[in-house]
Every structure is written in structure tokens, then in C-alpha cells.
Structure 1
Amino acid sequence: MFDLPTFSLKDKVSEQEWNLRVDLAACYRLVEHFGWGDLIYTHLSARLPGTDHYLVNAFGLSFDEITASNLVKVDLAGNVIDDTPFTINPAGFTIHSAIHEVREDAHCVIHLHTKETIAVATLEAGLLPYSQYSMFSLSSLAYHGYEGLAVNADEKKRLQDDLGLNNHMLLVNHGGLTVGLTIGDAFMRFYDLQKACEVQLLLQSTGQAATLVPQPILDNIYQQANVVHSGITGGQKAWPAMLRKAYRLDPSFVA
């Protein structure tokens, strides 16, 4: 049995940074709760406002071990900023740094290897308009082809170009990704993307013909989706409820 180092940064960082750490740690716990984790792999990152510094998980910890204090602060190159006993997975941060580098609005980046997003990303037709969940993703969805493990710096430019100004991405053979101005926005976008993939695979598993949303309705829902998932009615509205859920599940993430 290996005990984790325990320490608190609550009184050693600004209130703004501490609150961001708490929200991101809660998001890791929620990802674990919903069964979206992948052992110690995949990452959620959040930018510290007004800086080029980002918070990301310590390499080697499962998501239910993440706390506000053991999140690691890094720069765009993945260099650890503060004194900490933990390190990060540089290869895992390649995707996140690529997006943070060019998207000022992407304060939070969530990249996960759920089996459903991998499956739909790898289907030739990709995500289809089978459900209301897909409406929120299809209105701002990009794809990125598989190039192997994300360790090649040359891939960053291609990933940036593929994402563009979109907020959802399916990485072929790899998984899903969402970005947001807040942690709540990125989380809710991944929730919708995940649900859309789950519904699609469930429908396709029946072997029966399924009804696609007609294009005129699709176009109108795109506009509605942009309203529903912006401002107070988007992640900002749902996130407080999710944060309360994280506290109920296990408040140890606040340490």
C-alpha cells in the first residue's frame, strides 16, 4: 500500500486559483462517478485567468484521488511551475497545450477515452442526428484523424486547425474532447457528446432503421442549441448542481 503525499494549498494560493482548483478537482470526481475515466490516463485542464499557466492532474493518480491541492500547475510546455511532489504526463498534455495555445476562450479542456466516443468517432459516418443530445454537439463539432500517441509536436498544428472555433471534437480511433469558457461549460458539452454517442450506438445495435432529424429542423435546433448552451442557461446553470453532487459523493476533493 502506497500512501499519497497530503498537503494543502488553500492558504498558499489566491482565492481565485483555489476556487478554480476546487472546481477542476470536482470535475475529475464527477468524470469518475459517471464512468468516463480511464485508470490514470486522460486529462482535464483549466487555465488560470490572466496567465499561460494551467492546472492538470498529477500523473499516476486515479480520478477519485484528485484533490484541489494535488492538481499540478504547468506552463504551455508542460513545465511544472510550483513546488510539488507530483509530475504530469507530458505526452498527455500535448493535446491540451495545443488547444490552450490558440483558443483564448478554451479555459477548460476535457479529453476522455470513453468507449462510446471512441466507437462513434471511428464510424465512417461519425455522429449522426439521432437524438436531441446530438443537436448540441453537431452544431459545433470537429474531427481529428488518428496519428498515434500524442507525442509528436508536429501534430499540434493539425489538431488546432481541425478544431478551429468548434467546441466539440471526436478524435478518430481515440475518444472525445470538449472545451469551454468555464469548467461547467466544458463538462456539460462532454455530457451531451457522451449521451449522443450512447444513444446512437444503442439505436444502431438494434439493426433497425432509425429516424434522422430532418435538415430544416436540424438547422433550427442548431440556433436553439447555441442559445441553450450559452450564458446562464448553459454550463453556468447546471454546474452548481453538479458541484453539489460532487460534495455529496465525496467532499475529500476539496483538500
Structure 2
Amino acid sequence: MELQFPSIRSKVTSEEWSVRVDLAAAYRLVALFGWDDLISTHISARVPGNSSEFLINPFGLFFEEITASSLIKVNGVGEKVMDSEFPVNPAGFTIHSAVHEARPEINCVLHTHTVHGVAVSAQEDGILPISQQSGFVLTNLAYHSYEGIALKAAEKVRLAKDLGTANQMVLRNHGLLTCGATVAEAFKYMYTLNMTCQIQLLAQAAGKNLVEIPKDILSSMGQQSKEVTKGVGAAALVWPGLLRRLKRENPGYDV
């Protein structure tokens, strides 16, 4: 049975609705790419015009079911500010509120438990500089040690400190986290970070010596990325195509 949610488009600003549509799309794209973990993990987006509120998934829905209208709006202490029959994931609130509070320029935070991401998060050396994808990741990467399920408010300070100014993070023994100024940016970071982990595991599985990218090349990867996308940014280039794909394969997120 397909769940039906009444549209709230007329109850929010056009700016919030636009963010809701992109966020719902991101949830469904995570499912489409096989990055979801039943009802676990989460993606959040800051509410335009209100820095202390953000949108997050209804705890209990599969990512493939989420719509723009079903997203929950919460305030800075995790209270719902619009009616919803679903609860808020407490671990999700802890992780996302930590980043939103510490990084005012960040408008979207994406967290996954992908098989490849969790596997690499358990490796002592973390991300290795062995692929072009890893070169992009290593210009902007942080690590956070595992502290159990993210329920303690005290962990928020440590997580924010470990993230610093990075937009990509390996959560040790846990998974991956990315963030960006837009939903599209956070999603593109996750795509590259997860692919980096997948390539690394395949390369290691071959049992041969690995060739690492020289440090002088790694240090220029950030500038190379800007050049190859002509300053527009990869996220802005790929997001329209991802939405077209989603409309073909799992329409209905934008209601």
C-alpha cells in the first residue's frame, strides 16, 4: 500500500518548498543508488530564512517513500514545529544539529551507512590516495572516532571540532558524512566519497601492491576540479540529470 501525504505546499514559503523538493529527491536518489539502510541514516536541509530550523526524514519511512510534504521540520532542540505522525530520529538530530550549529554556511548534511563506506571507516589508514576520486576527496576530508550511537549531546562538540571546515567525513566504524551549501552539493560529495571507498576495497582485494598518487598532484586536485567544471561545480552540472533520472524511475517525490 502506497502512503499518501497531504500537500503542504501552500503552508510554506516558495523557498522552503524548493528545498523540500530537492531534499526529498536526495532521499530517493540515495535509495536508487543503494546507499540506504532500511530506515536508518538521514539527510537534513536548513529551512531558508530560519537558521535554527531544518528538515529531516520522518523516522519510519523508507527513503524511496519520502515526499516533499512528508519531511519533518524541527527546531534547534529537536522539537517538531509542524505536525507529523512520525517521530524524529534522535541520532539523526544529534549528528545534523551539530553540523548545522557549527557551520552556518552549510545548508545540507548527508549521512550514510554504505557497505563500502563502513568497511573503509574500519581501516586504520582510512582513505588511501590511489584513485582520481580519492584525490578529490582528500583535499577536503575529516575523521571522527566512534562513540557509540550518536545520542549524547556532548558528542556534538567533538563531531563539529573534528569536521572543522571539511565537507566530507569518515565516521570511524560507522559510515560517511558529507555536507554542502546545497542539497546537490552534499549529494555529489557523497557520490564521490562512496565511490572512492568502493574503488579502494576492490583494489585492495586484488592483493597486489598499490600505486599512490604523488603528493604534489594531490595538492592540486581542488584547483583541477574547478577547472574541469569551468567554475560551475560538478554538483550543479549533474543535479538536473539526476532529477530527470529520478522522475523516470521513482516519480512522486515532489508532492
TM-score by length of 1: 0.95
1:23 equivalent in structure 2: 22
Question: How many Å separate the matches in 1 of 2:18 and 2:219?
Answer: 38
Question: Letter of the aligned partner of 1:98 in structure 2?
Answer: A
SS class of match (2:17):
helix
2:3 equivalent in structure 1: 4
Question: How many Å separate the matches in 2 of 1:53 and 1:230?
Answer: 33
**Mind listing any 5+ residue stretches in structure 2 that lack a counterpart?**
none
Percent identity over the alignment is 49
Question: How many Å separate the matches in 1 of 2:146 and 2:230?
Answer: 30
More deviation in 185-194 or 12-21? 12-21
SS class of match (2:111):
strand
1:105 equivalent in structure 2: 105
2:200 equivalent in structure 1: 200
Change (3 A) 1:14 1:230: farther
Q: Superposed, which structure 2 residues align to 1:215-230 within 5 Å?
A: 215-225=215-225
Give the paired residue count.
Answer: 254
2:186 equivalent in structure 1: 186
Change (3 A) 1:226 1:125: farther
Change (3 A) 1:26 1:12: same
Question: Letter of the aligned partner of 1:57 in structure 2?
Answer: N
Q: Superposed, which structure 2 residues align to 1:1-255 within 5 Å?
A: 4-51=3-50, 52-225=52-225, 232-255=232-255
C-alpha displacement at 1:84, in angstroms? 2.2
Question: Letter of the aligned partner of 2:140 in structure 1?
Answer: S
SS class of match (1:247):
helix
Question: How many Å separate the matches in 1 of 2:142 and 2:225?
Answer: 16
C-alpha displacement at 1:230, in angstroms? 9.2
- Contact 2:226 2:232 (C-alpha < 8 Å) held by counterparts: no
SS class of match (2:36):
coil
Question: How many Å separate the matches in 2 of 1:227 and 1:103?
Answer: 26
Question: Letter of the aligned partner of 1:9 in structure 2?
Answer: I
SS class of match (1:212):
coil
Question: How many Å separate the matches in 1 of 2:249 and 2:103?
Answer: 33
More deviation in 229-238 or 82-91? 229-238
Question: Letter of the aligned partner of 1:61 in structure 2?
Answer: L
Structure 1 vs Structure 2 CA RMSD: 1.5
Change (3 A) 1:229 1:57: farther
Question: How many Å separate the matches in 2 of 1:112 and 1:226?
Answer: 26
Change (3 A) 1:250 1:232: same
C-alpha displacement at 1:228, in angstroms? 5.3
Question: How many Å separate the matches in 1 of 2:105 and 2:46?
Answer: 10
Question: Letter of the aligned partner of 1:48 in structure 2?
Answer: V
C-alpha displacement at 1:85, in angstroms? 2.0
- Contact 1:37 1:112 (C-alpha < 8 Å) held by counterparts: yes
Question: How many Å separate the matches in 2 of 1:32 and 1:8?
Answer: 22
SS class of match (1:154):
helix
SS class of match (2:219):
helix
Change (3 A) 1:164 1:229: farther
**Mind listing any 5+ residue stretches in structure 1 that lack a counterpart?**
none
Question: How many Å separate the matches in 1 of 2:152 and 2:230?
Answer: 34
